[in-house]
Amino acid sequence: MLHFIWPWMFLLLPIPLLIRKFLSPLEKHQGAALQVPFIEDFYQTEKSRGRVHSKRWLALATWLCWLLLVAASARPEWLGDPIQLPVSGRDLLLSVDLSGSMEAADFEINGDQVDRLTAAKWVAGDFIERRTGDRIGLILFGRHAYLQTPLTFDRKTVRTLLEESAIGLAGKETAIGDAIGLALKRLKGQPESSQVLILLTDGANTAGEIDPLKAAELAKKAGLKIYTIGIGADEIEVRSFFGTQKINPSTDLDEKTLRQIAQLTGGQYFRARDTEELAKIYQLLDKLEPVEKETQSYRPTTALFHWPLGVVCALAMLLAVARLKPGLKRSAATKERFSVTGKRGNV
């Protein structure tokens, strides 16, 4: 459907008629007549010009230019068919640990050994893509917590910024309480909705200003549901001078606190020992029931003002050339006749 953003611009259409009606034309000043022996040649030239450029054609082209110029000024655009946007009404914050311990390579992706952060990016990236209708935000934390992406429907940007995160970017320690506190701060004042925080870490709270359990109590009062994910293998084989030994790389993981945080806020604690378990956890989180809201619609728009504006420019150039060409021909013809007359006089 054709739509004009500024339709009132069409009120300018009668301006040329008003100018012609209320403003008197310029007076023609008669100068002294010049008598030349070949006056009939001037009449022929004027007659030829009238045949090529009639007043009717000129007026029509001028009015067409004015109409197109006004139409371009009204900013026409084409409205596409309405597109229904699913809106769940959920505000979902994803909080990812970037502390030094996340570089432990105890996960596998397609047979390749990778660190914990790489595995988290690989699984969480697909999870973000599936969250159609949710507003998603990204918090990265280590010694400090940072809001990397505010709540947005732009899932592609959230996934890109998660992929660009690096271990140690927020410090080498772990501030779980600050991450929860930052989530509460960003969700404060938001419209009523289902608010969820998914917190992924592989350690215990070793930094920050807020105690994790105290932050969880504040989250409970604010209606923020927290799902915690403890990441890290239970045991891995390490080669040493004395042979192969089995060690537990997740000794620093504070499962008790993570479980208490989830229970206090009405969420759930999950344990991911490998990539497969981590993927299953995010699939389970995918089954969260959305809060029903009215469906929002969106109509794509395409600007069209450049088309009439382009036609005006083309017509203006043609009119300029059409006006200029007869004048050049007449000037050349006049010079030629004066030259011929001069030659005849010399003879």
Whether 40 is in a domain gets the answer: no
- Is the domain of 258 the same as that of 231? yes
User: Across-strand partners of 206?
Assistant: none
Whether 198 is in a domain gets the answer: yes
Where residue 179 sits, what CATH number does that domain have? 3.40.50.410
CB-based contacts of 166, cutoff 8 Å, min separation 6 = 98, 117
pLDDT tens-digit map of 112-123: 888 889 989 999
Q: Which of 39-48, 190-199, 279-288 has the weakest average pLDDT?
A: 39-48
Domain that holds residue 311: 304-339
Write out the H or E segment, with its range, that includes residue 198: strand 194-201
> Taking 60 as the threshold, does the pLDDT of residue 135 lie above it?
yes
Total count of domains within the chain: 2
- Is the domain of 283 the same as that of 335? no
- Is the domain of 111 the same as that of 214? yes
Sign of torsion over alpha carbons 220, 221, 225, 227: negative
What is the reported pLDDT for 157? 93
- Is the domain of 210 the same as that of 258? yes
Q: Which of 298, 313, 330 is the last residue of a domain?
A: 298
**CB atoms closer than 10 angstroms to residue 296:** 11
Whether 258 is in a domain gets the answer: yes
- Is the domain of 91 the same as that of 195? yes
Whether 107 is in a domain gets the answer: yes
- Is the domain of 335 the same as that of 226? no
Considering 60-69, 85-94, 138-147, the range whose residues carry the highest mean pLDDT is 138-147
- Is the domain of 180 the same as that of 323? no
CB-based contacts of 339, cutoff 8 Å, min separation 6 = none
The β-bridge relationship of strands 83-85 and 76-79 is unpaired
Evaluate whether 177 touches 199 at the Cβ level (below 8 Å).
Answer: no
Whether 242 is in a domain gets the answer: yes
- Is the domain of 311 the same as that of 197? no
- Is the domain of 90 the same as that of 174? yes
pLDDT tens-digit map of 146-192: 999 999 989 999 999 999 999 888 888 999 999 999 999 988 877 65
Per-residue pLDDT band for 42 (boundaries 50, 70, 90) equals very low
- Is the domain of 244 the same as that of 290? yes
- Is the domain of 312 the same as that of 165? no
Whether 67 is in a domain gets the answer: no
- Is the domain of 180 the same as that of 326? no
Q: What is the mean pLDDT of the chain?
A: 79
Whether 250 is in a domain gets the answer: yes
What is the reported pLDDT for 235? 62
Per-residue pLDDT band for 284 (boundaries 50, 70, 90) equals confident
Whether 69 is in a domain gets the answer: no
**CB atoms closer than 10 angstroms to residue 236:** 16
Residue type, 208: G
